């Protein structure tokens, strides 16, 4: 099988004898009972060859882990209670006092906030680098650099970085940490559909399963996938020590979402591109940021490395519109709801103050609004945007 939509539906699952249902069963447990003391002592919880305690995995979570590994083209997967928990898990598994982590300046904001607070308090240094400038990453790599975060595209501003070029800079770095440098990609946008994280050089791929794999805007979960057994062991052991379990009902929701994920990704991709092209022609708008749009930062790299694009786009209004008027535009939208997260069935929007979340220079003066395109009819979404734009006047 070569197509991920087929693979996710026909993925190995052994139902109980005589009960050949399509969905995987939902197993719930804290306690798992052992037949004998010898069995209790022998049960191998480090290698997932047996069940020991609900916190450390059930048949339901092991099935979901196997499917997410397949989706990403990886080998090992560990689930975490949210996408952010998966990011923090990678940090906690790999970093110790005196180490340094490098994070793209345009990364998902809470990845940076975790470094500023918890990692700094634990004696772990951090720096932000410009993901669109491999030379900036080269200049910031140091003898204590242990982990480099990657994200494609950047959060909110959607610049698409040259991941192979960034990975090449890391590989060429002469003063490596004694344990080596690990690259971890936040792959929530690509989601295992737009590109293969490992083929582009990532050692670890993290996803917020909250977004596409769930698709329902009804569950929070994250995953950490790798092809390296050694890296998986670091992550898995830390995961056990900090007690990051996920609930069986939540795992069931993500398993359910996975079978329609490739279709949803394609539909939302197509709708987002239609709206991006239309928005680019509207007189109130200075720029539309979407990696598949010619002229958007990193477009050529996106074209080289990706086969699809996710449902996110951002618009920058002409500077003549003050923030209050842009806020009014968002308030007037009816189908687009105001809220965080993305890749669910309902279209969303939120204004962002980019200079407040970046240290690298930002070229635009106007206000930015980010959209997540849902599964509504694209003509209805366009009409909604048109009515809210029509109400904007020059002040």
Ligand X SMILES: *Cc1c(COP(=O)(O)O)cnc(C)c1O
| Helix/strand/coil (H/E/C) assignment for every residue in the chain | CCCHHHHHHCCCCCCCCCCCCCCCCCCCCCECCCCCHHHHHHCCCCCCCCCCEHHHCCHHHHHHHHHHHHHHCCCEEEEECCHHHHHHHHHHHHCCCCCEEEEECCCCHHHHHHHHHHHHHCCCEEEEECCCCHHHHHHHCCCCEEEEEEECCCCCCCCCCCHHHHHHHHHCCCCCCCCCCEEEEECCCCCCCCCCCCCCCCCEEEEECCCCCCCCCCCCCEEEEECCHHHHHHHHHHHHHHCCCCCHHHHHHHHHHHCCHHHHHHHHHHHHHHHHHHHHCCCCEEEEECCCCCCCCCHHHHHHHCCCCCCEEEEEECCCCCHHHHHHHHHHCCCCEECCCCCCCCCEEEEECHHHHCCCCCCCCCCEEEEECCCCCHHHHHHHHHHHHHCCCCC
Q: Which stretch binds ligand X (CB under 6 A): 54-62, 159-167, 204-212, 227-235?
A: 204-212
* 84 scored as a contact of ligand X (CB under 6 A): yes
Complex with ligand X: residue 82 or 284, whichever CB lies closer: 82
Complex with ligand X: residue 127 or 155, whichever CB lies closer: 155
Q: Which stretch binds ligand X (CB under 6 A): 122-130, 208-216, 297-305, 380-388?
A: 208-216
* Residues in contact with ligand X, shown as a per-residue x/- string from 62 to 81 under the rule CB under 6 A: --------------------
Binding residues for ligand X, rule CB under 6 A, total 13
* Residues in contact with ligand X, shown as a per-residue x/- string from 116 to 155 under the rule CB under 6 A: ---------------------------------------x
* 108 scored as a contact of ligand X (CB under 6 A): yes
* 225 scored as a contact of ligand X (CB under 6 A): no
- Closest approach of ligand X to the CB of residue 228, in Å: 22
The only residue of 70, 82, 145, 223 in contact with ligand X, by rule CB under 6 A:
82
* 372 scored as a contact of ligand X (CB under 6 A): no
Complex with ligand X: residue 108 or 329, whichever CB lies closer: 108
* Residues in contact with ligand X, shown as a per-residue x/- string from 324 to 343 under the rule CB under 6 A: -----------------x--
- Give me the residues that bind ligand X (CB under 6 A), please: 82-84, 108, 155, 186, 188, 208, 210-211, 220, 222, 341
């Amino acid at each position: 099988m070569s197509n991920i939509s087929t693979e996710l539906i026909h993925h190995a699952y052994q139902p109980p004898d005589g009960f050949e249902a399509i969905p995987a069963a939902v197993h719930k447990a804290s306690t798992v009972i052992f037949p004998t003391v010898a069995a209790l002592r022998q049960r191998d919880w480090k290698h997932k060859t047996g069940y020991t305690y609900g916190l450390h995995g059930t048949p339901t979570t092991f099935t979901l882990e196997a499917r997410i590994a397949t989706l990403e083209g990886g080998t090992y997967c560990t689930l975490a209670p949210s996408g952010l928990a998966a990011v923090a898990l990678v940090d906690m598994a790999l970093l110790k006092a005196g180490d340094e982590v490098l994070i793209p300046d345009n990364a998902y904001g809470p990845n940076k906030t975790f470094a500023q607070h918890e990692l700094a308090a634990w004696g772990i240094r951090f720096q932000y680098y410009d993901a669109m400038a491999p030379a900036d990453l080269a200049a910031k790599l140091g003898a204590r650099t242990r982990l480099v975060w990657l994200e494609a595209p950047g959060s909110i501003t959607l610049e698409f970085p040259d991941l192979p070029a960034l990975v090449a800079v890391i590989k060429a770095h002469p003063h490596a940490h004694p344990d080596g440098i690990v690259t971890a990609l936040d792959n929530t946008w690509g989601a295992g559909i737009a590109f293969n994280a490992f083929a582009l050089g990532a050692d670890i791929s993290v996803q917020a399963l909250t977004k596409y794999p769930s698709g329902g805007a009804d569950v929070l979960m994250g995953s950490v996938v790798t092809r390296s057994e050694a890296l998986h062991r670091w992550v898995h052991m830390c995961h056990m020590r900090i007690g990051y379990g996920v609930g069986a009902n939540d795992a069931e929701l993500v398993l359910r979402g996975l079978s329609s994920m490739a279709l949803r990704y394609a539909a939302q991709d197509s709708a987002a591109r239609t709206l991006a092209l239309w928005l680019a022609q509207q007189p109130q708008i200075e720029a539309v940021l979407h990696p598949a749009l010619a002229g958007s930062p990193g477009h050529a790299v996106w074209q080289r490395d990706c086969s699809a694009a996710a449902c996110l786009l951002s618009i920058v209004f002409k500077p003549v519109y003050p923030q209050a008027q842009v806020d009014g535009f968002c308030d007037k939208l009816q189908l687009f709801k105001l809220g965080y997260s993305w890749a669910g069935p309902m279209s969303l929007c939120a204004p962002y103050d980019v200079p407040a979340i970046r240290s690298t220079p930002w070229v635009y003066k106007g206000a930015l609004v980010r959209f997540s395109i849902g599964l509504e009819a694209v003509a209805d979404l366009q009409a909604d945007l048109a009515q809210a734009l029509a109400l904007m006047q020059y002040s």
